[in-house]
Chain A
Amino acid sequence: MSRTPPRLLLAHGAGGRLTRELVTGTFLAALDNPLLATLTDAAVLPALPAGRPALTTDGFVVDPPIFPGGDLGYLSVCGTVNDLAMVGARPLWLTWSLILEEGVDGDLIDACVDGAARACAEAGVAVVAGDTKVVPRGKGDRIFAVTAGLGVVPPGRHVNDDRIVPGDLIVASGPLGDHGATIMACRHAMAGSGLHSDCAPVNGAVEALLEAGIEVHSLHDPTRGGTLTVCHEVAERSGHSILLHEADLPVRPEVRAVCELLGLEALGQACEGRVLAWIPATDAERAVALFDQHTPGGGAAVIGRVDARSGRRPSVLLETVIGGRRPVDLPSGSEQPRIC
Chain B
Amino acid sequence: MTSPSAGEERRTVEGLLRSIRAESAEVGRNLTFMEVCGTHTHSVGKAGLRRLLPPGVRLVSGPGCPVCVTPVGFLDRAVALSRLPGTVVATFGDLMRVPSSTTSLERAQAEGASVRVVYSPRDVVALARERPDLRVIFLSVGFETTTPTIAGALAEAEADGIDNFMVLAGNKIIPPAMEVLVRDEELSLDGFLLPGHVSVITGWHAFRFLASEHGLPGVVVGFQPIDILHGLLELIRQQRASERNVVNLYGRVVSAEGNQAAQELVERMFTTATTAWRGFGEIPASGLVVRPEWSHRDAARIEVDMPEPKEPVGCRCGDVLRGIIDPPECPIFGSSCTPDDPVGACMVSSEGTCAAWYRHEGLETFQ
Q: Is residue B144 contacting chain A, with contact meaning CB distance below 8 A?
A: no
Asked if A321 contacts B364 (CB within 8 A), the reply is: no
Q: How many A-B contacts at CB < 8 Å in the complex?
A: 108
Q: Which of A262, A263, A323, A329 contacts B14 (CB 8 A)?
A: A323
Contacts of A325 in B (CB 8 A): 48, 51
B158 smallest CB distance to A (angstroms):
23
Nearest to A310 among chain B residues (CB) is B367
B2 smallest CB distance to A (angstroms):
14
B361 smallest CB distance to A (angstroms):
7
Bound CA–CA A189/B46 (angstroms): 27
Of residues 169 through 189 on chain A, the ones whose CB sits less than 8 Å from some CB of chain B are 188-189
Chain A 300-339 interface mask (CB, 8 Å, partner B; 1/0): 0000000000111111011011111111110011001111
If A321-B9, A323-B10 touch, whether A340 touches B106 (CB-CB below 8 Å) is no
Interface centre among B226, B340, B350 (most CB of A within 10 A): B350
Asked if B350 contacts A338 (CB within 8 A), the reply is: yes
Asked if A338 contacts B93 (CB within 8 A), the reply is: yes
Bound CA–CA A6/B295 (angstroms): 47
Q: Which of A312, A323, A340 contacts B94 (CB 8 A)?
A: A340
A226 smallest CB distance to B (angstroms):
15
A236 smallest CB distance to B (angstroms):
11
Contacts of A332 in B (CB 8 A): 97, 339-340
Q: Which residues of B contact A (CB under 8 A)?
A: 6, 9-10, 13-14, 38-39, 45-49, 51-52, 65-67, 92-94, 96-97, 106, 117, 119, 123, 142, 146, 225-226, 339-340, 349-351, 358-362, 364-367
Q: Is residue A42 contacting chain B, with contact meaning CB distance below 8 A?
A: no
Asked if B13 contacts A313 (CB within 8 A), the reply is: no
Asked if B94 contacts A336 (CB within 8 A), the reply is: yes
Asked if B46 contacts A320 (CB within 8 A), the reply is: yes
Asked if B119 contacts A262 (CB within 8 A), the reply is: yes
If A247-B6, A312-B364, A324-B49 touch, whether A339 touches B340 (CB-CB below 8 Å) is no
Given contacts A322-B226, A328-B359, A340-B351, 4 further A-B contacts (CB under 8 A): A320-B48, A322-B49, A327-B365, A338-B94
Q: Name 7 A/B residue pairs within 8 A (Cβ), A-sorted.
A: A311-B365, A313-B365, A321-B10, A322-B9, A326-B47, A327-B360, A340-B351
Q: Which of A322, A327, A337 contacts B47 (CB 8 A)?
A: A322
Asked if A333 contacts B6 (CB within 8 A), the reply is: no
Asked if B364 contacts A326 (CB within 8 A), the reply is: no
Asked if B96 contacts A336 (CB within 8 A), the reply is: yes
Asked if A322 contacts B358 (CB within 8 A), the reply is: no
If A322-B13, A338-B94, A340-B142 touch, whether A327 touches B366 (CB-CB below 8 Å) is yes
B187 smallest CB distance to A (angstroms):
23
Asked if B364 contacts A327 (CB within 8 A), the reply is: no
If A310-B367, A323-B52 touch, whether A339 touches B45 (CB-CB below 8 Å) is no
B138 smallest CB distance to A (angstroms):
12
A177 smallest CB distance to B (angstroms):
16
If A317-B366, A322-B9 touch, whether A329 touches B93 (CB-CB below 8 Å) is no
Bound CA–CA A194/B241 (angstroms): 51
Contacts of B47 in A (CB 8 A): 320-322, 324, 326
Interface centre among B48, B351, B366 (most CB of A within 10 A): B48
Contacts of B66 in A (CB 8 A): 340
If A311-B365, A333-B106 touch, whether A340 touches B359 (CB-CB below 8 Å) is no
Bound CA–CA A325/B365 (angstroms): 13
Asked if A324 contacts B119 (CB within 8 A), the reply is: no
Bound CA–CA A321/B97 (angstroms): 30
Contacts of A312 in B (CB 8 A): 364
Bound CA–CA A335/B366 (angstroms): 24
Contacts of A189 in B (CB 8 A): 123
B41 smallest CB distance to A (angstroms):
10
Bound CA–CA A104/B35 (angstroms): 52
Contacts of A329 in B (CB 8 A): 339, 358-360
Asked if A337 contacts B93 (CB within 8 A), the reply is: yes
Bound CA–CA A247/B5 (angstroms): 11
Contacts of B358 in A (CB 8 A): 329
Asked if A337 contacts B6 (CB within 8 A), the reply is: no
Bound CA–CA A247/B65 (angstroms): 28
Contacts of A328 in B (CB 8 A): 359
Contacts of B67 in A (CB 8 A): 340
B100 smallest CB distance to A (angstroms):
16
Nearest to A339 among chain B residues (CB) is B92
Asked if B361 contacts A326 (CB within 8 A), the reply is: yes
Q: Which of B45, B52, B106, B364 contacts A313 (CB 8 A)?
A: B364
Bound CA–CA A311/B364 (angstroms): 7
If A262-B119, A326-B46 touch, whether A340 touches B365 (CB-CB below 8 Å) is no
Asked if A322 contacts B225 (CB within 8 A), the reply is: yes
Nearest to A319 among chain B residues (CB) is B48
Interface centre among A247, A311, A324 (most CB of B within 10 A): A324
Interface centre among B97, B119, B123, B225 (most CB of A within 10 A): B119
Asked if A339 contacts B94 (CB within 8 A), the reply is: yes
Asked if B13 contacts A323 (CB within 8 A), the reply is: yes
Bound CA–CA A328/B359 (angstroms): 6
Q: Which of A311, A327, A340 contacts B39 (CB 8 A)?
A: A340
Nearest to A323 among chain B residues (CB) is B10
Q: Which of B39, B106, B365 contacts A315 (CB 8 A)?
A: B365
Bound CA–CA A277/B48 (angstroms): 27
Contacts of B14 in A (CB 8 A): 323
Asked if B51 contacts A321 (CB within 8 A), the reply is: no
Bound CA–CA A320/B45 (angstroms): 10
B167 smallest CB distance to A (angstroms):
15
Of residues 201 through 256 on chain A, the ones whose CB sits less than 8 Å from some CB of chain B are 247
Asked if A339 contacts B119 (CB within 8 A), the reply is: yes
Asked if B119 contacts A188 (CB within 8 A), the reply is: yes
Contacts of A336 in B (CB 8 A): 93-94, 96, 117
Bound CA–CA A339/B366 (angstroms): 29
B326 smallest CB distance to A (angstroms):
16
Contacts of B92 in A (CB 8 A): 337-340
Q: Which of A311, A324, A326, A337 contacts B117 (CB 8 A)?
A: A337
Bound CA–CA A325/B360 (angstroms): 9
Nearest to A329 among chain B residues (CB) is B359
Contacts of A318 in B (CB 8 A): 48
